[in-house]
């Protein structure tokens, strides 16, 4: 008897192997998606960018206090505050900027929420 083709057992074995490989691939893809989702929720880079912006703001606030100690008054406007610096501050969060209140000499950040970084 010379028959050509695959027997039932061979076909079942191939289907079982393909099904097992598909299952493992789906498990891997699902766990990868969960990991990416968790990283996006944690946002460690955004948090560190915001922390860097706050540190930059702290050093500029020190310059403003030095100006007040030397001149006896707060800088009159934001342009004067920026003039105290060698270069404008390089904030890490895109679109972040400093806000200045000349009445109290306090500085703030335009973006304070790390989810916006």
Mark whether 106 and 92 lie in a shared domain: yes
CB atoms within 10 A of CB 39: 11
Mark whether 55 and 90 lie in a shared domain: yes
pLDDT in the model for residue 40: 67
Mark whether 52 and 103 lie in a shared domain: yes
Mark whether 50 and 106 lie in a shared domain: yes
pLDDT by residue for the chain (117 residues), tens digit each?
Answer: 667 777 889 999 999 999 999 999 999 988 888 887 776 676 677 788 888 999 999 999 999 999 999 999 999 999 999 998 888 888 988 888 999 999 999 999 998 887 777
Q: What share of the chain is helix, strand, coil (3-state, %, to 5)?
A: 60, 5, 30
Given a contact cutoff of 8 angstroms between Cβ atoms, the answer to whether 88 and 56 are in contact is no
Per the structure, the complete domain to which residue 19 belongs is given by 1-42
pLDDT in the model for residue 48: 86
pLDDT in the model for residue 103: 92
Mark whether 54 and 106 lie in a shared domain: yes
Enter the tokens of residue 28: 């891997």
Mark whether 53 and 32 lie in a shared domain: no
């Amino acid at each position: 008897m010379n028959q050509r083709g695959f027997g039932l057992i061979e076909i079942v074995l191939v289907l079982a192997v393909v099904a097992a490989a598909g299952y493992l691939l789906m498990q891997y893809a699902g766990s990868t998606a969960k990991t990416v989702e968790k990283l996006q929720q944690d946002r460690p880079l955004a948090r560190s960018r915001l922390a860097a912006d706050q540190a930059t703001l702290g050093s500029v606030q020190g310059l403003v206090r030095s100006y007040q100690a030397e001149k006896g008054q707060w800088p009159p406007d934001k342009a004067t505050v920026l003039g105290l610096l060698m270069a404008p501050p390089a904030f890490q969060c895109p679109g972040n900027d400093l806000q200045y209140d000349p009445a109290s000499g306090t500085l703030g950040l335009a973006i304070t929420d790390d989810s916006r970084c």
